[in-house]
Amino acid sequence: MAHQWRGIIAEYADRLPAHVQEKIVSLGEGGTPLVEAPVLSELTGAQVFLKVEGMNPTGSFKDRGMTTAISAAAGRGAQAVVCASTGNTSASAAAYATRAGMLCAVLVPDGKIAMGKLSQAIAHGARLLQVDGNFDDCLIAARKLAETHPVELVNSVNPDRIEGQKTGAFEIVDALGDAPDIHALPVGNAGNITAYRKGFVEYATATADLPAVASRTPAMWGFQAAGSAPIVAGHPITEPETIATAIRIGNPASWQQAEAARDESGGVIESVTDEQILAAHRILSSQAGVFVEPASAAGVAGIISRAERGLVPAGARIVVTVTGHGLKDPQWALRAADGSEVVPTRVGADVVSIADALGLG
Ligand code: AN7
């Protein structure tokens, strides 16, 4: 029988609130691959899988939360939405809003968003404003705009976003047959770690209507970029910096929920340097065959770092959610490990020159 993945709202209807299902706006998000990564298993002494969220319609995990947020807004008859964004939220909001026939305003930090994401927001017709400030300033302004004007806020402080994003946890358990021991992911505004924790807990809890699907919940390991690690530092960072612009966030909106996810699951939130992020990025692309954007490599950098310190239990089953596609921010692939620019070799259009250049003699 013909079957196509129907998007997360249809696939997980019994575990999502009714109000997101009245007027579903979907681009077929979710159903992303869980790919085993032998190179990472070898490096860490664990069994490592990657949840490849770059395979969503706009190339990041944000689509899971945007289908629910925009569907809920559509159900209420909303005409316009707004978000602050380091890039991926704006790309996703722009796509789902245009699909729903809504106006989409996006506030992005000036000069600090990757070209792929900027072009997506523009292509999907968003009203894009580059704000003189960082992400945290953009979020404050977006919240105020939504309070005082007829536009709905679709950042992850909107609970409908969390509902959609929790389905990533459901898919991991559905694919493995139970929860992994450890779930690792990057942390920026901390919506995703909050959502995954909610999903894992719901799947491990029987209710009057639904059985438990998992026998346990995983330890949540979150990783911030060292220059933007407020949860690790214990205070907001006023001028966050990192090459991983997606997680260049100094005052996460879901700070407390992230700490709760960490503590209730027996997990950790640590930081990784830009160098560690780029090294993990390179291992993913050159050995695992998975191309991600730098922020998405933070979770992989984190498990490698913990393995180096002897903090990865032997044989543990680890899922690392890699959150966004490498094509969002491709410039990092064009640098060698020593930082030099990679320039393709030029050859003539003849087999001899080509074979020669390939060392085939
Ligand atoms: C690739 O798009 O905050 O901790 O405005 O794009 O849930 O914020 C993006 C965040 C990780 C962090 N990986 O997730 C935005 C934005 C990628 C991201 C995160 C983001 P949260």
pLDDT reported for residue 152? 98
**Pairs from 74-78 (Cβ < 8 Å, separation ≥ 24):** 74/23, 74/25, 74/100, 74/102, 75/19, 75/20, 75/22, 75/23, 76/152, 78/102, 78/151, 78/152
How far apart are the C-alpha atoms of 228 and 224, rounded to whole Å? 7
Q: Give the distance (Å) from ligand 1 centre to CA of residue 12.
A: 23
To test the ligand 1 pocket, which listed residue (163, 166, 296, 323) has its Cβ within 8 A of the most ligand atoms?
A: 323
Which pLDDT value is given to residue 338?
84
pLDDT number for residue 15? 98
For ligand 1, is residue 85 a contact (CB within 6 Å)?
yes
- Calculate how far, in angstroms, residue 241's C-alpha sits from the geometric centre of ligand 1: 15
Please report the pLDDT score of residue 361 as a whole number. 75
Contact 82, 142 (CB under 8 A): yes
Consecutive 10-residue runs of the chain (361 residues): their mean pLDDT? 92 98 98 98 98 98 98 97 98 98 96 94 97 96 98 97 98 98 98 98 97 98 98 97 97 98 98 97 97 98 98 98 97 86 93 96 75
Mutate which of 189, 196, 245 for ligand 1? The one with the most ligand atoms within 8 Å of its CB, which is: 189
Residue 237 DSSP class = -
Residue tagged 């704000």 (tokens)? 131
Walk across the sheet containing 103-109 and list its strands: 127-131, 103-109, 80-84, 152-153
Q: Are 218 and 265 in contact (CB under 8 A)?
A: yes
Cα 113 to Cα 108: distance, rounded to the nearest angstrom:
7
- Residue 129: partners with Cβ closer than 8 Å, 6 or more residues away: 105, 106, 107, 108
